[in-house]
Amino acid sequence: MRPDLPTVPLEAGAGPENPPCPACGEPLFVWVELPVETGLAHRCEACGLGVLGRTGTTGDALADLDHDSGEDGAIIFENRASFQSQLTGGAWSGLGTDRAYRFTPESIVRLVSNRDQVLDSSRWLPGTGILMMWQSGINMFTFGHNLALGRFGRARATPSRKAWRRRLDAFITVVLAVPSMLFAVPVELIGGLIGRGGASRIRLKVL
Ligand SMILES: [Zn+2]
């Protein structure tokens, strides 16, 4: 269990309301800190896997992970256990996604062990992480989510349904663009230095 996550006796969650984690098999818990628009989400207290929407099977989670695999076989993922994710909670830009699973390094290790794979290498992506933290900082003050990165096709944007809120969000985004970057650079650098960067490129290998 990660030291930064609340300590909950895992057996307390076993039952139909707490389906097994697709990565490690421990019971999932409802992820209550998320914005309402996200719908019912779960997270694993053991390996940190975040599940947005339907919980699915181990095969579903593996397919979701492989979806990020490039031609060279490397996988880029946004780290739910990152310093920036823990700091910004429901405002974390990595939550603005069409994907079902939000991975942590531990959840990936557990997940790929199901097909006899291990982590071969992992490389922090500071540029991507700084952009994510920049957007997360702005998300903390806007009604919508990922409005700036979404405009550049770097994330899925969720604008507010009300026009006046969208106008206010556009104004807030402009006002906070520079201050949020000043904040994002040190936060992500600290995250990288303590091994909890916002995004990483990993390679897997067969045992
Ligand atoms: Zn798990």
How far away, in angstroms, is 195 Cα from ligand 1 center?
A: 20
List the structure tokens of 19.
């389906």
How far apart CA 192 and CA 186 sit, in angstroms, is 10
Residue 57 lies in a domain: yes
Token pair 């593996």: residue:
62
How far away, in angstroms, is 161 Cα from ligand 1 center?
A: 34
How far away, in angstroms, is 27 Cα from ligand 1 center?
A: 8
CB 61 within 8 A of CB 23: yes
How far away, in angstroms, is 3 Cα from ligand 1 center?
A: 15
Residue 3 lies in a domain: no
Residue 4 lies in a domain: no
Residue 75 lies in a domain: yes
The full 3-state SS of 135-183, as one line of letters, equals: HHHHHCCCCCECHHHHHCCCCCCECCCCHHHHHHHHHHHHHHHHHHHHH
How far away, in angstroms, is 110 Cα from ligand 1 center?
A: 8
The DSSP secondary-structure symbol of 160 reads -
| pLDDT confidence of residue 54 | 80
How far away, in angstroms, is 159 Cα from ligand 1 center?
A: 31
Alpha-carbon distance values, 152 to 10, 135, 146 (Å): 41, 12, 10
Mean pLDDT of 130-157: 95
pLDDT tier for residue 2 given thresholds of 50, 70 and 90 = very low
Q: What is the pLDDT of residues 63-117, one digit of tens each?
A: 999 987 878 889 999 999 999 999 999 999 999 888 899 999 999 999 999 999 9
How far away, in angstroms, is 13 Cα from ligand 1 center?
A: 13
How far apart CA 205 and CA 207 sit, in angstroms, is 6
How far apart CA 53 and CA 119 sit, in angstroms, is 27
Residue 99 lies in a domain: yes
How far away, in angstroms, is 16 Cα from ligand 1 center?
A: 16
| pLDDT confidence of residue 164 | 97
Domain that holds residue 129: 10-206
CB 5 within 8 A of CB 106: no
Q: Which residues pair with 50 in a beta bridge?
A: 43, 102
Is residue 11 over pLDDT 60?
no
Mean pLDDT of 197-205: 96
How far away, in angstroms, is 204 Cα from ligand 1 center?
A: 19
Tell me how many domains the chain contains.
1
How far apart CA 61 and CA 101 sit, in angstroms, is 7
How far away, in angstroms, is 111 Cα from ligand 1 center?
A: 8
Q: What is the pLDDT of residues 14-59, one digit of tens each?
A: 566 789 999 999 999 988 777 655 567 899 999 999 999 888 899 9
How far away, in angstroms, is 107 Cα from ligand 1 center?
A: 6
Q: What is the pLDDT of residues 142-152, one digit of tens each?
A: 999 999 999 98
How far away, in angstroms, is 108 Cα from ligand 1 center?
A: 9
Residue 5 lies in a domain: no
Is residue 5 over pLDDT 60?
no
Alpha-carbon distance values, 150 to 54, 90, 135, 188 (Å): 24, 17, 10, 20
How far away, in angstroms, is 58 Cα from ligand 1 center?
A: 10
Is residue 10 over pLDDT 90?
no
